[in-house]
Amino acid sequence: MILVGIVEPTIGTATMRSNPLPPLLTVLCCLQFFATGAHHIVIAQAHGVSRSAVGKAIHAVSVILAGLLNRYVKFPTGLEIESVKRKFYSVAGFPNVVGAVDGTHVKIQAPPDNEADYVNRKGYHSLNVQMVCDANYRITDVIAKWPGSVHDSRMFSEGILCQKLETGQIDGLLLGDSGYPCRKYLMTPYANPRNLSEERFNTALCRTRVLIEQTFGMLKRRFAVLKYGIRTTPDRAAVYVASCAMLHNFGFEHGDVYGRQTYEDDDMPQVDNQGVDVNGRTQRDYITQRHFAV
């Protein structure tokens, strides 16, 4: 009902040609699509409306929700960052962490333009979606515009969040898997740990970074359209992804707690070609010796 109140001023206007769907029914059609990924005709039959009306309802509501993304999905600032760091540290003792980052593929239908760019490593068409979460499974950053063939490290390096970390606007570390380059602000595991201290570093990093995988699990279980695929163009699919990310945080904000679920991905991350730079290696070794030395 809160969502109805948010979207009603925009979609509740009657026309001279026909009567639009009531705002409540419009929102329910959109939520059912996100929750099931069902064909529009199935949702139309369930609600006793036309297929075209369902398509218009989904589009109208998703555009509104995606427009609210920056209000509900935002990176912590000020005192919030210190609270996030404490909660991450309580997981496995990894210091100064402000977020866990990873990418996930959302299946889409083959687009008419640049079709080959959207074929990912598994051989199907997708968007490669990057997200960052905090220790409470809230999404704090999302990028949903890249084709499935794009490498995780490129998505990250060309994002605004990376620029803020590089320029020191954000004081803290992100944790990523081996698909990302190790940098002074982005910690990744040792590829070949040489001693117990480095093994302890890897263990703490993996135990902490798994929060983003659990966030993906929650997101795809709640919004099955992201798990089973979106039968639309890349641009509209990106709007749907943004809407689901907004609804994920919206649910947390309004006490709609949902059980976590580990995200299962049978594809190993692509190792970044840039590897580890000097600052990244120095920072990683410093953290290892300071916090995980035996």
Q: How many CB atoms lie within 10 A of CB 237?
A: 27
Q: Using an 8 Å Cβ cutoff, are 212 and 257 in contact?
A: no
User: Which string of b and e fits 155-182 if b means at least 16 CB within 10 Å?
Assistant: bbbebebbeebeeeebebbbbbbbbbbb
- Six-digit token pair at 193? 């740990």
Decide which of 101 and 112 is more confident: 101
Judge contact between 101 and 176, C-beta under 8 A. yes
pLDDT above 80: residue 257: no
Highest mean pLDDT among 3-12, 117-126, 260-269: 117-126
Domain extents in the chain = 2-67, 72-291
What is the rounded distance in angstroms from the CA atom of residue 84 to the CA atom of residue 96?
Answer: 9
- Which amino acid is it at 41? I
Question: pLDDT by residue (tens digit) across 172-210?
Answer: 999 999 989 999 999 999 999 999 999 999 999 999 999
Q: pLDDT by residue (tens digit) across 24-41?
A: 999 999 999 999 999 999
Q: What is the pLDDT of residues 167-178, one digit of tens each?
A: 999 999 999 999
